[in-house]
Structure 1
Amino acid sequence: MIKLTGLDDKEFVINADHIEKLTQTPQSVITLTNGNKYVVKETNDEIIKKVVEYKRKIYRGDYSK
């Protein structure tokens, strides 16, 4: 799970394993495998970094904050 910020400045969490596509238009639009789309303040590069950090934690077995 990764934490993101919507255009309304509210944080929310999505399952990184369900991200299908990222589009920059100029905000980042995340499309999930179920077709849902979310517009967030983070750039595509920031989202990718969050996903990579999340995956590293999972593969290392580090479930702490």
Structure 2
Amino acid sequence: MIELSRFNGSKFFLNITHVESVEATPDTVITLFNGKKFVVRDDASEVVQRITAFYQTASVYSAAPRITDEMME
């Protein structure tokens, strides 16, 4: 999840696995796979950077070795 700001200044967290597209129209519009749209204060390129960073971090953790019970014995 990433934190974003609505135009009224309130913050919310968006589950980025549901994001279909991010557009700069000039406002940033985030469209989810279910068709719901969010217009946010955050710059579109910043939103894309946050999404990219999230996936890069997730791939690092998924590549990490798993500690099993057998390893602990």
- Count of paired positions: 62
* TM-score for the superposition, normalised by structure 2: 0.78
With structure 1 as the length reference, what TM-score do the two structures score? 0.86
Higher Cα Rg: structure 1 or 2?
2
Which structure shows the bigger proportion of residues in helix conformation?
A: 2
Gaps of 5+ in 2: 63-73
Distance 1:18 1:50 in 2: 14
| 1:3-49 C-alpha deviation (Å, 9 max, x unpaired) | 11111111111111111111212210000001110000111100010
| Off by >6 Å, runs of 4+ in structure 1 | none
Gaps of 5+ in 1: none
Percentage of identical aligned residues: 31
